[in-house]
Amino acid sequence: MYTNKHAANSLEKQHLQNVRKYYLSIADINIALSKVHQTILPHIDSKKYQLATDYIHQYISYTSVWNLKFVANLESPEVALLQVFHLNYIFNKEPESRFIQERAILAEQEQRFFDLKPYKAEHVEKRKQKMLDYIETHA
């Protein structure tokens, strides 16, 4: 009986460690993407991207995508996904010669995010299309 209890406790501790690592990884990604947002903001006309920003702000609590705060946002895979969408949208509208380093950081963080497999590919595409539809209907 003691062995089963010990094994259960060990498995529970291992599970909690994996969960903590997952949310720490998400937080690292969100922080890196937030830094990219802060870096590019002074160099773009943010009004051109207001509809995309408005869409993203529906899902971010008590703060802005341009200055992300609060643990609930930083540990949210949804916020990370939306930051990826937002930055990709901006970079697709800006000349390719601009923000080369920031684009590389985005690509790296995007890969890290998708390696964690928080969402299925179909879900990601549906969410991306939902943002694009929002922008199109409010333009």
pLDDT value, residue 68: 92
Element (H, E) at 107: helix 100-115
pLDDT value, residue 20: 84
DSSP codes of every residue in 38-99? HHHGGGS-GGGGHHHHHHHHTTS-SSBTTB--SHHHHT-HHHHHHHHHHHHHHHHHS-TTS-
How many domains are contained in the chain?
1
pLDDT value, residue 130: 96
pLDDT value, residue 3: 67
**Closest by alpha carbon to 87, among 72, 71, 68?**
68
Rounded distance between C-alpha atoms, residue 22 and residue 24, angstroms: 5
Ranges of the chain with pLDDT below 70: 1-3, 6-11, 13, 15-16
Rounded distance between C-alpha atoms, residue 62 and residue 57, angstroms: 9
pLDDT value, residue 19: 72
Q: What is the distance, to the nearest Å, from the Cα of residue 88 to the centroid of all Cα atoms in its chain? A: 11
> Terminal CA-to-CA distance of the chain, rounded, Å?
65
Q: Is 20 helix (H, G, I), strand (E, B) or coil?
A: helix
pLDDT value, residue 9: 67
pLDDT value, residue 51: 96
**Closest by alpha carbon to 133, among 81, 83, 89?**
89
Domain boundaries, position 118? 2-138
